[in-house]
Amino acid sequence: YRINNAFKGYAHRESYLEEAVKTLKVEDCPDYKRRKGQKGSVVVISGTDTKVEKYGTTENIVYKTSVYRAMTLEKYNELKNNNNLPPPDYIEYLTRDTHQTYSKRLKKTFKHSNLRYGKYNECPPGDKYFLNSSKDAKGPTYLMYVSDNSTGSDIEVKEELKDLMDKKRDGIAIHQYDRKASVGCMTTCSGSKTDNSDANSLYNEIPDLFLHNSMEKAKMIDNNGVVHDMSIERRFVRIIIEERDVIEKQWEDIKYGTTKWFGKE
């Protein structure tokens, strides 16, 4: 659809695809069998699989982020419990430290909560989140937002985290820059603009984030003039954010907060 939204030659291309599936014996592929019938994607941000990555002169501890396409959360848990997970379809590395203290763009100083998952501190861990596109999250600034619902960009306080969260969190995104440009978000340590960063690459590697938006009004007119509905229903992207090991230190200036949390190598 991105290449040819007029669907010229669609039936012909479809027949080639069907023939390729047979010739390459796709249905015999173990990975196909694991994913057969699955709709949706799962993204997993590790809490322990880390490396050090530089952005300018700043060293950042970044966490392995794995994308599994054509997989529901239930299937992911089943495969993981059975030690039968396929390799990830895509891997990115994201920061989780949140050290921004002043925004030139907003002309604002950030006062961090003294709670680990409180305002402007790191995203609370969880295994039932949704990763939403900006359109599904009702139009915030960045491409992707973490939420505990499928149509927003906010996280309610969970009972098990009530002592670590002071209020509902909102606006937790995945975007460019490094931890110094993060007030609770996760960053790729790259790029100065959204359309020139690894965040864009990650977004494009999760088609379920945007395909339904592109295809919601898609139609095909065949050679007989018959109009076919080509729209694709929304397929949810679930994101698992694992708890990470941290080192606790104090902010150099009390106006920014009390404790701040550093990731471990």
Does residue 6 belong to any structural domain of this protein? no
Rounded distance between C-alpha atoms, residue 52 and residue 100, angstroms: 19
Long-range contacts of residues 222-226, Cβ cutoff 8 Å, at least 24 apart: 222/11, 223/11
**Where are the alpha helices (H) located in the chain, listed in sequence order?**
10-23, 30-35, 73-81, 198-204, 211-215
Does residue 114 belong to any structural domain of this protein? yes
Contacts of 119 by beta carbon, 8 Å cutoff, 6+ apart: 112, 113, 166, 167, 169, 184
Q: What is the mean pLDDT of the chain?
A: 91
Burial class (CB in 10 A: 0-12, 13-18, 19+), 188: buried
Rounded distance between C-alpha atoms, residue 203 and residue 211, angstroms: 11
Number of domains in the chain: 1
Does residue 26 belong to any structural domain of this protein? no
Nearest Cα neighbor of 142 from 170, 96, 121, 173 is 173
For 41, the token pair is 């994607």
Residue-wise pLDDT tens digits, 107-165: 899 999 999 999 999 999 999 999 999 999 987 789 999 999 999 999 999 888 999 99
Is the pTM of the predicted complex or chain greater than 0.85?
A: yes
Does residue 93 belong to any structural domain of this protein? yes
Q: What is the mean pLDDT of residues 91-104?
A: 92
Does residue 187 belong to any structural domain of this protein? yes
pLDDT at position 197 is 82
Residue-wise pLDDT tens digits, 17-60: 999 999 999 999 988 888 889 999 999 999 999 999 988 888 99
Does residue 29 belong to any structural domain of this protein? no
pLDDT at position 5 is 76
Rounded distance between C-alpha atoms, residue 91 and residue 196, angstroms: 18
pLDDT at position 96 is 95
Does residue 215 belong to any structural domain of this protein? yes
Ranking 63-72, 113-122, 173-182 by mean pLDDT, the lowest is 173-182
Does residue 95 belong to any structural domain of this protein? yes
